[in-house]
Amino acid sequence: MLTTNERIAAFARLGELMNSCLNNTNSGMYSAAEHAAVDKLLAAIDKAGQYNPWFTQDFIRQALTNLVDMLDKEGLKKWISSYGNIKSPEKPKTIAVVMAGNIPAVGFHDALCVLTSGNKLLAKLSSDDQYLLPALTDLLAAIEPAFKDRVSYTTERIQDFDGVIATGSNNSARYFEYYFAAYPHIIRHNRNGLAVLDGAETDLDLTLLGSDVFMFFGLGCRNVSKVLIKQGFDFDRLFKGLEPFRQRMSGFHKYFNNYEYNKAILLINNEMHFDNGFLLLKKAESLASPVAVLHFSNYLDEDDLNRQLAEMQNQNLVQCVVSRNACVEGSVGFGESQSPKLHDYADGVDTMKWLLELAKN
């Protein structure tokens, strides 16, 4: 039975080998098993992009680079120490994780929590992301063979589990709530990222905001889909800041098809909007926006801003908020929405705490 420190060491080594794999560098001595598993990861990166056109090679590698940052050994130690002295469960629970497939390897953090807590992972992968996580857990098992019997995948109906974590759309979440009602569970719904612009942003701030909007083509729950803009803001500055993303966005046909389709809808309906040739900016109350569309609302002053923020947060619609120098309470800086830290749990539910409580029952 692995200790918590041994599990953390294995994940830290996983981060090192992933970094070596992504940057084609030497990360010290490889065992034969590690070397073979790294080759499988490289093959999975290629295969994931071939199977799902939205998973471009640069975005797959960006997603994995974000995970490398998450697997810093000191960061892992600090994260896990915040939960006190974690004892390995005598009888590990089997945790079923129904994973989303909107961005590459999006279910990794749940896998990390389940395995670090000493439990077993039973994963049902999205058909849109079938290759990356198995390659990563194979590499983990090559580093520490004790994980081999702690990870399993299924394409069938999940069964024989003690708790479940399920992520999906609002419609699928209703199904999950019904189907898993008798089990301890975490059910996640649709959420989106929100940005606040107060007019004091630099040109660099607005370009960094572009990463929050466009990374993974806006398909992630942490992508900014709406901006709250102070009355009088110069929209030309915003579009100028987003200009560096023109070639990537307009050059990818699936994204640009969405842009052209949504533009046609706005024109047919005679709806007021701004258009820079690859992004449509539309005034709307809704937080969620279609691909290639960014919603916005205006606010008058700080009180009005706080009222609008509270209204959306009370409806459990907001995954994260970005703002200039993270000046809005609880927000992150521009360009940081898709680089969550270990403690940035989806939907604000502490997955590790939930797992540790479940182990006591």
Q: Which of 41-55, 78-92, 232-246 shows the lowest mean pLDDT across its residues?
A: 78-92
Confidence class for position 360, pLDDT limits 50, 70, 90: confident
Confidence class for position 260, pLDDT limits 50, 70, 90: very high
DSSP one-letter code for 226: E
Residue 28: predicted pLDDT: 64
Helix (H) or strand (E) holding 6: helix 4-23
Q: Would you say residue 205 has pLDDT above 90?
A: yes
Q: CB-based contacts of 171: which residues, under 8 Å, 6+ apart? A: none
Q: What is the mean pLDDT of residues 254-280?
A: 97
CATH (one of 3.40.1180.10, 3.90.1310.10, 3.90.950.20, 3.40.605.10) for 4-189:
3.40.605.10
Residue 27: predicted pLDDT: 57
- What is the distance between the alpha carbons of residues 275 and 151, in angstroms, rounded to a whole number? 47
According to CATH, the topology of domain 192-333 is Aldehyde Dehydrogenase; Chain A, domain 2 (3.40.309)
Mean pLDDT of the chain: 94
> What pLDDT, in 10s, does the model give residues 30-51?
888 999 999 999 999 999 999 9
Q: What is the mean pLDDT of residues 137-148?
A: 97
Confidence class for position 359, pLDDT limits 50, 70, 90: confident
Confidence class for position 24, pLDDT limits 50, 70, 90: confident
**Following DSSP, what letter does each residue of 263-306 receive, concatenated?**
HHHHHHTT--EEE-SS-EEEE-S-S---TTEEEEEEE-SHHHHH
Q: What is the mean pLDDT of residues 166-182?
A: 90
> What pLDDT, in 10s, does the model give residues 268-327?
999 999 999 999 999 999 999 999 999 999 999 999 999 999 999 888 899 999 999 988
Predicted structure pTM score: 0.94
Residue 90: predicted pLDDT: 81
**Following DSSP, what letter does each residue of 304-344 receive, concatenated?**
HHHHHHHHHHHTT-EEEEEEGGG-STT-EETT-TTS--TT-
Confidence class for position 23, pLDDT limits 50, 70, 90: confident
Q: Would you say residue 361 has pLDDT above 80?
A: no
DSSP one-letter code for 71: T
Q: Would you say residue 29 has pLDDT above 90?
A: no
Q: What is the mean pLDDT of residues 258-267?
A: 98
Q: What is the mean pLDDT of residues 60-83?
A: 96
Q: Which residue would you say has higher pLDDT here, 170 or 281?
A: 281
53-62: Cβ within 8 A, 24+ apart: 53/254, 54/128, 54/216, 54/217, 54/219, 54/254, 55/104, 55/128, 55/129, 56/252, 59/103, 59/104, 59/215, 59/216, 59/217, 60/104, 60/132, 61/22, 62/215, 62/338
